[in-house]
Amino acid sequence: MSVPVSYYLVLSAVLFGLGVVAFVFKRNVITIFMAIELMLNAVNLAFVAFARAYNQLDGLVFVFFVIVVAAAEAAVGLAIVITLARNRESLNVERVNLLKF
Amino acid sequence: MSLPFLVFFACALLAVVGAVRLILAREPIHSALALILLMISLAVLYLLLGAPFIAAVQILVYAGAIMVLFVFVIMVLNAGVEERTDFSKIAKYAGLPLAFFLLLWIAHWLAHAPAGSAIATGAGAPTVAFSTVELSEQLFRPYLFPFEATSILILIAILGALVLARKEE
């Protein structure tokens, strides 16, 4: 007897919600990036669960692509963080307010 | 309770604990360690779902490469204790209830999934694992063009990271 797919979907939703909370409430720009990775992970779990529910491999292919895009995004994002820290001498997003209305 | 349920609940608990620790930790390095815990427990869940290749990629690429990059940047920038500011009133009085209702809505949707459908019962979830051979045939036949596009994406990302992080003369 295997675990129903809906359990995985609930876990995925909870993790995504926690990721949104972290994204909104954290003040450190590196931690905000980690929150994005957390949301991507939650979505991956939903993809694999649906792939299992419908017994289709396409979901797994999409997970593969999401992981690749996450890797690219982490590389570029962390380069931006390094530049930001060099220019502002702070990692607090409150200090980065040039584009803030 | 059978073994798959025990493994699922143990890993789900670890994943949620990891996510909550990520939010509560004040040091970025503690957040990073909590995220690694979450990723490894998700990899176990992928094994449970019968996707061993994705589980391996999850550990190699996510818990390995990406998180090493994060820890490296935290170390280079010497990121210390996070400064806290009061979050806005909008977030407190509108955001939190909205997040709660979103969860309620998802729970409602899942509870009312048609009885006997694949989502509700997991009946469409055979215990046989997806084979890596079939996955690679998907990846290199119908999805060949997106696959090649991702390699170009990675190349551009490497160049972008180099350009951005370079010290200006």
**Residue A34 predicted with pLDDT over 90:** yes
Per-residue confidence (pLDDT) for residue B169, from 0 to 100: 62
Chain A residues inside the 8 Å CB shell of B119: 4-6, 9, 53
The residue-averaged pLDDT of B34-52 equals: 93
The domain locations on chain B are: 1-81, 88-124, 131-169
Tell whether B116 is within 8 A of chain A (Cβ): no
**Residue B32 predicted with pLDDT over 60:** yes
Read off the pLDDT of residues B116-134 as tens digits, 9 standing for 90 and up.
565 655 544 555 778 888 8
**Residue B151 predicted with pLDDT over 80:** yes
Could you say which of 1.20.120.1200, 3.20.20.80, 3.40.50.720, 1.10.1840.10 is the CATH number of the domain covering B1-81? 1.20.120.1200
Chain A residues inside the 8 Å CB shell of B23: 18, 21-22, 25-26
Please name which of A53, A14, A31 lies closest in space to residue B11, comparing C-alpha atoms. A14
Residues 6+ apart with CB under 8 A from B122: A2, A3, A4, A5, A6, A52, A53
% of chain A with per-residue pLDDT over 70? 97
Per-residue confidence (pLDDT) for residue B124, from 0 to 100: 46
Say whether B106 and A10 touch across the interface (CB within 8 A): yes
The average confidence (pLDDT) of chain B is 85
CB B30 within 8 A of CB A22: no
Look at A16 and A88; give whichever has higher pLDDT.
A16
What number of C-beta contacts closer than 8 Å exist between A and B? 224
Tell whether B90 is within 8 A of chain A (Cβ): no
Residues 6+ apart with CB under 8 A from A69: B150, B153
Mutant choice from B62, B112, B133 vs A, greatest count of A C-beta within 10 A = B62
Rounded to two decimals, the ipTM of the complex is 0.91
Q: What is the pTM of this model?
A: 0.88
* Domains, in order of start, for chain A: 5-95 (1.10.287.3510)
Shortest CA distance from B111: residue in chain A: A6
CB A90 within 8 A of CB B81: no
% of chain B with per-residue pLDDT over 90? 49
